[in-house]
Amino acid sequence: MSEFDFASLHARWSFPTQVWFGAWRLSDLPVGLEEIGAKAPLLITDRGLATSSIATQALEIVKAAGMEPGFFHDVQPNPTVENVMAGREILRKGGHDCVIALGGGSAMDAAKAVAMMAGQSRPLMDFEDVGDNFRRVQTEGMVPVIAIPTTAGTGSEFGRSSVITDTQTHRKVIIFHPEMLPELVILDPELTVGLPPTLTAATGMDALSHALEALCAPGWHPMADGLALTALKMIDGALATAYWEPENLEARSNMIVASAMACTALQKGLGAVHALAHPLGARYDAHHGMLNAVLMPHVLRFNLPAVREQMATLAHELRLEGDDPGVAVLGWLEALQARIDMPSTLSEMGVEVNDSDIPALIADALRDPCAGGNPIRLDAEGVEQILRAAR
């Protein structure tokens, strides 16, 4: 018997948007702009990609189609409120009618927030994903987004939210509105071929953490579970290859699609990995995917008593051996992380958590919207246990 009452079970599910997959699909960008009726796009990327051949190519492809794109690239690795407001200024001044979000999670999160803020008069933080705040959004002024990821992990291209750092409070804040979902996503695995191995590994771990946390999140969402399980199998087969053979297009294709699937699955919920990675990332400006990699085994160990069924399914799918599926999955996770040279502690990745920082980190983790999706109810003691184990 199921724990759910099917006579009263109601659910609201969103599945993503239009996706164009394929090597060199970047060249179809003008077709995408035409389909969404945009004539004056603003390309948004991060500082790291600003002078890259990918950004140059994207701009040239749009120019060759007779358009004059705007270009905004002042986006930090953990994008800030200031970054978003500067982007909106450029969008309004240039009269842009669409945003092309090109890059990893930071560029995409900033770009989606700029597109949303195009039509708002309230401050950005008024749209934090708490309660019904998203109803404050005036949708008429929002502009559509075409998302083109250059990493395979964040899945921000399929998300209806952005994570933005409030530099005043050192908090990473989730900004949410259903219409922040990009209108078109171009998944071009060629764009990830040049991604350095460490970033391939860290962003791949972000994808893995989305799938694993979604699978473990409580609630009845078989569509999300199916996506999460398939994504985990694809990552198992492709991540180490993408790390060791950067030009392997099959592995890159599998990773970019697995990342998309994992991100779609995460609407079921995330958990303690993300609830802790957000405050740690905001405080120490550390890479989100790498933080997830370090936190994941500790969180899984903490959650094991509540996720026996999910671990049995996952161990079966991954063809893991051993009497205890939870232990087998933990062993698989740690072995995969070792194959791609991920650190196993926060201090190994350069994040030194002082005792005096711990109370604030615990408070921020507990108020993070992801905390509610953890299979074991989080309290201060539990968060501290995970944090100290990961230190």
Q: Which residue is nearest to Fe ion (CB)?
A: 206
Helix (H) or strand (E) holding 73: none
Q: Give CA separation, 47 vs 53, 172, 199, 233, 314, in Å.
A: 13, 20, 16, 33, 39
> Which alpha helices (DSSP H) does 188-221 contain, by range?
197-216
* Cβ 206 to Fe ion shortest distance, Å: 4
* Cβ 162 to Fe ion shortest distance, Å: 12
* Cβ 274 to Fe ion shortest distance, Å: 6
Measured from the CB atom, the residue of 157 and 206 that comes closer to Fe ion is 206
206 binds Fe ion (CB under 5 A): yes
How many Å separate Cα 350 from the centre of its chain? 22
Measured from the CB atom, the residue of 33 and 232 that comes closer to Fe ion is 232
The stretch near Fe ion (CB under 5 A) out of 126-134, 200-208, 248-256, 374-382 is 200-208
Report d(CA 335, CA 296) in Å as an integer.
Answer: 13
Measured from the CB atom, the residue of 73 and 210 that comes closer to Fe ion is 210
3-class SS string, 98-160 = EEEEEECHHHHHHHHHHHHHCCCCCCHHHHECCCCHHHHCCHHHCCCEEEEECCCCCCHHHCC
Measured from the CB atom, the residue of 88 and 287 that comes closer to Fe ion is 287
* Cβ 210 to Fe ion shortest distance, Å: 6
213 binds Fe ion (CB under 5 A): no
Residues 6+ away with beta carbon under 8 Å from 369: 129, 130, 174
The stretch near Fe ion (CB under 5 A) out of 62-70, 80-88, 201-209, 369-377 is 201-209
The stretch near Fe ion (CB under 5 A) out of 202-210, 279-287, 317-325, 357-365 is 202-210
The first and second tokens of residue 153, run together, are: 């992990």
157 binds Fe ion (CB under 5 A): no
Measured from the CB atom, the residue of 41 and 153 that comes closer to Fe ion is 153
Measured from the CB atom, the residue of 177 and 274 that comes closer to Fe ion is 274
What SS3 class is residue 234?
helix
Instruction: Judge contact between 186 and 147, C-beta under 8 A.
Output: yes
Measured from the CB atom, the residue of 206 and 236 that comes closer to Fe ion is 206
Report d(CA 340, CA 202) in Å as an integer.
Answer: 9
Measured from the CB atom, the residue of 183 and 206 that comes closer to Fe ion is 206
* Cβ 263 to Fe ion shortest distance, Å: 8
* Cβ 379 to Fe ion shortest distance, Å: 23
Report d(CA 305, CA 209) in Å as an integer.
Answer: 18
Measured from the CB atom, the residue of 29 and 239 that comes closer to Fe ion is 239
How many Å separate Cα 40 from the centre of its chain? 27
What SS3 class is residue 42?
strand
The stretch near Fe ion (CB under 5 A) out of 11-19, 24-32, 141-149, 206-214 is 206-214
Total residues at interface with Fe ion (CB under 5 A): 1
The stretch near Fe ion (CB under 5 A) out of 70-78, 204-212, 218-226, 341-349 is 204-212
The stretch near Fe ion (CB under 5 A) out of 60-68, 165-173, 205-213, 243-251 is 205-213
* Cβ 257 to Fe ion shortest distance, Å: 17
What DSSP character marks residue 189? G
Report d(CA 47, CA 110) in Å as an integer.
Answer: 12
User: Which residues form the interface with Fe ion (CB under 5 A)?
Assistant: 206
